Structure 1
Amino acid sequence: MKPWILGLTGGIGSGKSAVAQHFVDLGVHLVDADHAARWVVEPGRPALAKIVEHFGGDVLQADGQLDRSALRARIFADSDERRWLEALLHPLIGQEIIAYLARAESPYAILVSPLLIESGQHRLTQRVLLVDAPEQLQIQRTIARDQSSAEQVQAILKAQASRSERLQHAHDVLVNDRDLHWLQAEVERLHNFYLTLRGGQT
């Protein structure tokens, strides 16, 4: 039987990576949309050539790899440029994700994506799990992890889907405001529940 697909999302600093890792430890096949996004812009892939043609050579590192921070700076400053890039990459990323999930051997597979809702990737899934956290906690965690400033984190939070929009699409919500031990126990509880579902529906 083909595995059904669970979409896993959450804002920056919500702890979705820790949740994703625990699902993997439990033997669930998982693809990360961020990894798929990296695969499609590797040197030699057509997307990278189009990006360089559009933005110029200063979005490349000396070794020919994409300079993500240079590109990010360009698209955060200009929403038209961001939309151009999304229109190029989203369909390609979708194809990578579908191909990878098709190889899953677990009863369900997981697509982890910070932009699951905004990018329309939730349409590839049968069910959505949202990892949520109070905004103050998201900001604290992200600053600690990335050494970024509070302003940068606020800007990223604004660009991501609003909490209410995410909650609207979520079938399950995991509020990650306690410790890792508690979080892992919650993941195990959800995993056992997901194993009872057919096609992701109750």
Structure 2
Amino acid sequence: MHRRRTALVLSAAIAAAAPLLTACGNDAHPGAAAVVDGQRITVSQLEERVGEVRAAQRAAVRDDAQYQQVIARTGTLTRDTLHTMILDRVLHHAAEDAGVTVSRKEIQRMRSGLEEQAGGAKGLEATWLQQYGIPPQRLEENLRLQLEAQKLAERLGTDTSRPEFWKALSEASKQLNVDLNPRYGTWDVQKSSRADAKTPWVRDVTAAQAQQSM
């Protein structure tokens, strides 16, 4: 159960980690949703990742009315997905700096344990999709993230809920010079939460696109 708690704690913490990522937000990188260590996360890459989630949700929920409810509940999916993509890179950088590595065998061992608790592979995929917005094809990638976080925390002599762990991620984000497109919001360090940019004419088009594709 400890391994499952660690995974779920990290997944929940990802949603609250936004203030640790510094963003200057400008138009120096057209077409980019964010820039991390000089490498762009393009808008098209972000849209592709969001599309993966929507496709998985559509496959899991065949009823049109229920699918619309799912879309309504995940209206911030684009921003949340971008946040996860950024945090993945930040965490990987912090883990590398600490000498942390994760093997495929470790990922498979973790997946097997979680599948046993979830009642099988399909149960685990459904849980990760519903609770964390992770589509099946990204599951092992996310489990690598979980393991890197767990092993980084152990290397630091702490756990993923402690300030020492998040301080390491904050240092990594500074080194990577994360630059977020203001279209997707800003990071509010003072309030320790993500804040939406005050641009009412900008909206998350994912839900509208999903409805049009029905």
TM-score grouping bracket, smaller chain normalisation: under 0.3
If each structure's helix is expressed as a fraction of its own residues, which one has the higher value? 2
TM superposition score normalised by structure 2: 0.26
With normalisation by structure 1, the TM-score equals 0.27
